[in-house]
Structure 1
Amino acid sequence: MLPVLLDPAKFKDARTTAKGEPRAHVALKSLETLWFNTGTLCNLTCRNCYIESSPRNDRLVYLTAAEVTGYLEEIERDGHATKLIGFTGGEPFMNPELPAMLDEVLSRGLKAMVLTNAMKPMHKMKPALLDLLARHGRSSLTIRVSVDHHERSLHEEERGLRSWKPTIDGLVWLAEAGFDVHVAGRHFSNETDDEVRAGYARLFARLGVPIDAQDAATLVLFPEMDPTVDVPEITTACWGILKKSPDSVMCASARMVVKRKGAERPAVVACTLLPYDPQFELGGTLAESVGAVRLNHPHCAKFCVLGGAACSA
């Protein structure tokens, strides 16, 4: 079946849907998770990367450890209830200051999570990772490895030929070294959730990797974000219809810091999924970013409200 293209009348007005209904919005309940996009450069060019990371995409440039520290200080100064600091990209391990950023986070007693493909850039930082593990312990640092499917063929269909073995090697190394390792997969096959989890369980058992495939936190399965498939706009009435609380959506508890190419300073955006859309840029500081977010984008509907995903799950 051919995809249904998005209605061009949708997602035009921040306050009103194409049908004239009030658009849903989400207030920041508390800043529980702060993400840092360390830069969009990546060693891979994946087929459906939502942020279009590649070896050439530097639309979001490398953050520095000093810039990260500034936001951590703001968290402490303003008393945010932040529990987790996440690092995403691009490939975070391509940023040479990532170990210093992680050390700063962990030294403040915060938990850190790094999203990675566990390939060559990570392997170059093995000594630094082992040092962090030795000094801060296993419970403070989680490494989430992107393994898009439990079978090599579908993983490489998404991430490219010869991408499977280096990622699996990195996953096994992390587990054997004693890191807290999670995996992120994708729903882009015809399998049910149970079938996908059973497939990952077989993979983890074969590799000897102690990850519970039935645990939605240690094996996160993200819905596919196909921009050509039509999705409904989320209205204020949808919360009651769906029996869903706005507080369950990612932007009720998280923000992300990015630095655009040519910008003098980083900016805070509503979530990890919308780094480029200017309507979701909320200011340069956390204090400026606490306002409500209007769900005026297809990703808000497909990924967060209907897909039920959250990057820190």
Structure 2
Amino acid sequence: MKDVAAGPVNAGKFQDPNQTAQGTARAHVALTHPETLWFNTGTLCNITCANCYIESSPSNDRLVYITEAEVSDYLDQIEDRDWPVKEIAFTGGEPFMNPEMIAMSRAALERGYSVLILTNAMRPMMRKSVKSGIAELVRDYGDKLTLRISVDHWSQDLHDKERGSGAFARTLEGMNWLKQIGGRMAVAGRTVWGETETASRAGYAALYAEHGFEIDANDPGMTVLFPEMDEAVEVPEITTKCWDILGKSPDTVMCSSSRMVVKRRGADRPAVLACTLLPYEPEFELGNTLAEAERDVSLNHPHCAKFCVLGGASCST
């Protein structure tokens, strides 16, 4: 792992996919119940956040725009493989910068899937043509479509500290518009601020009440509080014995139930990754097809330990 072993933090760890630095058997996760297929719509974003795990920005096109035709091909593969997928999810970058975002969403909704779109609800979403498309999807499919809005903190000051001055107000403008058209919303926040989960959820509850947003602050699927993914923090490696020690099952880890499709700049076709959080790590690329992506995933990265196993987080609903 290029950066993980470069310094004293986590030195020697996360090198071998089959064993830890101490020579014990590394944990692996099988794809036992594929419920969510993610698509990265492209890494371009309208803003540059202070700590974006995927380094999205107005200039980062390492992952290029995926197309409706490519999404539809993977929807066909889901049916061919008989995966019990319930949800098609889109992340970025900012998904609404992709000119085919509405068409890709409709393609999934037409087949009966629930659709989740991660967005900052700012200017790309608020363009006239995009608003028209979203309103039509809400009209046609109702609660089958969820937009999860990035609200890093319930307060303007801390949210804008991460996303730039004025970001909080522009996001609230988008959320208020979604409320007006009856769009189903969820929120993604962060736990970097040093407050308790109870205090954080109380803050979000007050924000929702102030604006009349029908979002449950205490439902972890509707107000998702993500742990930080800092590779400069020392984390333990996950061994096969950890499942019993921690009282957890591999079936609870995100890669047991999901995969993500990306299209790299210069690539002829998209690729399927083990994890939404590791888009640039070649060892987590499983192939070009869902059939190839059915193999086990080695928990060979700090994010596997800190975010998924120990943090208990999941990007899906």
Q: Could you state the TM-score of these two structures normalised by the residue count of structure 1?
A: 0.97
In the TM superposition, what is the alpha-carbon distance from 1:159 to its structure 2 partner? Answer: 1.0
Q: What are the equivalent positions in structure 2 for 1:87-166 lying under 5 Å apart?
A: 87-124=90-127, 125-136=130-141, 138-166=142-170
Distance 2:241 2:180 in 1: 49
Residues 39-87 of structure 1 show CA distances to partners (whole Å, capped at 9, x for unaligned) of: 0000111111110000010000000100000000111122110000000
Gaps (5+ residues) in structure 2? 1-6
Q: Partner of 1:38 in structure 2?
A: 41
Paired residue secondary structure (2:124): helix
Distance 1:145 1:175 in 2: 12
Q: Could you state the TM-score of these two structures normalised by the residue count of structure 2?
A: 0.96
Matched, 1:245 2:262: no
In the TM superposition, what is the alpha-carbon distance from 1:6 to its structure 2 partner? Answer: 1.8
* Matched-pair identity in %: 59
In the TM superposition, what is the alpha-carbon distance from 1:7 to its structure 2 partner? Answer: 2.3
Distance 1:76 1:139 in 2: 23
Residues 78-98 of structure 1 show CA distances to partners (whole Å, capped at 9, x for unaligned) of: 211000000000000000001
Q: Partner of 1:16 in structure 2?
A: 19
In the TM superposition, what is the alpha-carbon distance from 1:109 to its structure 2 partner? Answer: 0.7
User: Do the aligned partners of 2:97 and 2:124 also contact (CA within 8 Å) in 1?
Assistant: yes
User: Do the aligned partners of 1:5 and 1:229 also contact (CA within 8 Å) in 2?
Assistant: no
Residues 144-166 of structure 1 show CA distances to partners (whole Å, capped at 9, x for unaligned) of: 00000011111111111121111
In the TM superposition, what is the alpha-carbon distance from 1:176 to its structure 2 partner? Answer: 2.1
Residues 223-262 of structure 1 show CA distances to partners (whole Å, capped at 9, x for unaligned) of: 0111211111111110000000000000000000000000
Q: Partner of 1:278 in structure 2?
A: 282
1:170 to 148, 171, 174: 174
Residues 265-296 of structure 1 show CA distances to partners (whole Å, capped at 9, x for unaligned) of: 00000010011100000000001100000000
Q: Which runs of 4+ in 1 moved over 4 A?
A: none
Residues 182-221 of structure 1 show CA distances to partners (whole Å, capped at 9, x for unaligned) of: 0000001111100000000111111111111011111010
User: Do the aligned partners of 1:257 and 1:269 also contact (CA within 8 Å) in 2?
Assistant: yes
Q: Partner of 1:192 in structure 2?
A: 196
Gaps (5+ residues) in structure 1? none
Matched, 1:214 2:221: no
Q: Which amino acid aligns with 1:127?
A: S
Q: Name the stretch that deviates more: 64-73 or 173-182.
A: 173-182
Paired residue secondary structure (1:276): coil
Q: Which amino acid aligns with 1:172?
A: N
User: Do the aligned partners of 2:44 and 2:58 also contact (CA within 8 Å) in 1?
Assistant: yes
Relative to structure 1, the CA distance from residue 204 to residue 5 in structure 2 (aligned partners, 3 Å threshold; closer, same or farther) is farther
User: Do the aligned partners of 1:5 and 1:230 also contact (CA within 8 Å) in 2?
Assistant: no
Matched, 1:297 2:310: no
Distance 1:8 1:57 in 2: 29
User: Do the aligned partners of 1:5 and 1:228 also contact (CA within 8 Å) in 2?
Assistant: no
User: Do the aligned partners of 1:111 and 1:141 also contact (CA within 8 Å) in 2?
Assistant: yes
